[in-house]
Structure 1
Amino acid sequence: MSTIDKVESLLLDEFKTVPFHNLFMLNNIQNKQLSLGGTCSDKVLRFKEVLYKNYINSNLHSSFINGIECHRMLSVIIEDRKYYIDVGSGWPSVKLFPEFKEIEYSAYGMSFKTEIKDNEIVLYHKTKASCEYNRMMVIPKESKSQEDILLDIKNRFVDSSIYPFQDSFRFSIVKDQMFYFIKGFRLRVYSDNELNEYKLNKKEVLRFIKEKFNLLEQYSNVILK
């Protein structure tokens, strides 16, 4: 197995076992167990350790969403070439994004593609619901220092208004060849062949993520928006 294949295998496992969500952010809970998931910072710190345990070194990388530098990623050097890992995404970014060539791929009925410019890579995303590519983020080829990114992570919720998910609950995970995505009280289930959407109330959302994903055992009095 090549190093790229190994990283992407670990990445897919991570998307299947560690959910993206803003539950801790909405409830001002300090995440002391990164295996419970969280926002991009939580997921990136955890996956960085996963890679290290598999003898793969990675660096923290900072990128922009809606013109704001608020998203954390990882970068790796494989055979002297640089790749970006978006494990902290709320979407299933299950492939590495090369710095040196543009790519396009599909997963769970949605598509991703990159556009390389002089000093940055633009990542685009398309779902069956949108039917056209939308700009997802901008990845600068040169990022701030590891120390500065760690400081950003430490202070990431000082001003939560910078995040696109600050106004409502978010949750996503890959399970059983499907991608589950919750925004507010709307659940969408993506697969290669179809997209199904369900409207849930608060109790149904809490029961769903507790029973199906075992997330709320320690947090029974959480607030959802």
Structure 2
Amino acid sequence: MKWNSTSRTALIKIESLLLRLFKEEPFHNLYHLYGKKPLTTKYGGTCTDKTLSFIHEARSLGFNAQLHTGYIQGEEIHRLARVTINNRIFFADPGNGWPSLKLYPADEKICFPCFGMFYRTEITNNKISVFHTRNNKEFLQLEINPIPRPDIEIKENINNRFNSDISYPFKGKLRFSLVVDNQFLFLRDERLEIYSESEFSLIEGIKRELLPKILRERFRYESALLLKYLTDDSLNIK
């Protein structure tokens, strides 16, 4: 089946969804830091929470979107979405802490700029490698085996993610990122990194107790309900 204008329109539509969720639902590891299991995906979270939210939204728009896994530093610890458009397979990475705003095709390599950063893929030996460049340094960010695992296996790993021996790259560290207007903001421990098409800036020395103020003023994100849930055992958020 040919890759026609309808298929291209569908790709634009789902990438618009991806951008919207990068603006509305932050990547963060606060649930892990506070030892709380999320009861909803609308407040963002790590790769699992954001991918589940994306899949739910994509399916509501009529897309064929399924859970998939990826490898970070050789460990199969990342969740992403496998999207089929007109018999072509793509991978969306809504749970990336960095703004991966394009879908990665399984059948061809791509490259694209993003907030002054750069992404590119390579496909070798039936493996998709995603490279991310920021501040003139390139990193191997993610590897994807296009062959899917059974959903039941992925969901079992999701259910065990808070009580397993999995060691995530951000374990014990503060992470919070969001697209805000024409900038991408990433709080990494005491460093707030701000990326745009024209410049990179850095604010250092941010103490964790200032998190509500930083989220409100810099990220323009109202975090009161989320933070209250994280610190009060009597509350549940819906």
TM-score range, shorter chain: over 0.9
Report the TM-score when normalising by structure 1.
0.93
Q: 1:19 aligns with which of 26, 39, 44?
A: 26
Cα displacement string for residues 120-178 of structure 1 (whole angstroms, at most 9, x for unaligned residues): 100100112xx121100110111211111011111112236521011200000001110
Normalised TM-score (structure 2): 0.88
Q: Choose the corresponding residue for 1:213, options 205, 213, 221.
A: 221
Q: Offset of 1:210 from its aligned partner?
A: 4.2
Q: Match of 2:191?
A: 186
**Cα deviation per residue 1:17-39 (whole Å; 9 max; x = unaligned)?**
00000001111112112110000
Aligned pair count? 221
Structure 1 residues 218 and 140 mapped into 2: Cα distance closer, same or farther (>3 Å)? Answer: closer
Match of 1:36 in 2: 43
State the 1:203 CA deviation.
Answer: 2.8
5+ residue gaps, structure 1: none
Equivalent residue number for residue 235 of structure 2: none
User: Considering only CA atoms, is the larger Rg found in Structure 1 or Structure 2?
Assistant: 2
Measured in 2, the distance between the counterparts of 1:136 and 1:151 equals 24
Aligned residue in 2 for 1:116 = 123
2:74 matched to which residue of 1?
67
Letter in 1 for 2:147: E
- 1:151 to 2:159 alignment: no
Separation of aligned partners in 2, 1:194 and 1:166? 29
Deviation at 1:92, TM superposition (A): 0.3
> Are the aligned partners of 2:69 and 2:154 in contact in 1 as well (CA < 8 Å)?
yes
Q: What amino acid does structure 2 have at the position aligned with 1:214?
A: E
**Residue identity opposite 1:111 in structure 2:** F
CA contact (8 A) 2:70 2:142 kept: yes
2:27 maps to amino acid? F
- Kindly provide the amino acid, as one letter, of the partner of residue 49 in structure 1: H
Q: Is the 8 A contact 2:176 2:187 kept in 1?
A: yes
SS at match of 1:35: coil
Partner of 1:195: 200
1:167 to 172, 185, 192: 172
Q: CA RMSD in A?
A: 1.6
Q: Distance in 2 between the 1:110 and 1:158 partners?
A: 35
Gaps of 5+ in 2: 1-5, 232-238
Is the 1:76–1:83 contact (alpha carbons within 8 Å) kept by the matching residues of 2? Answer: yes
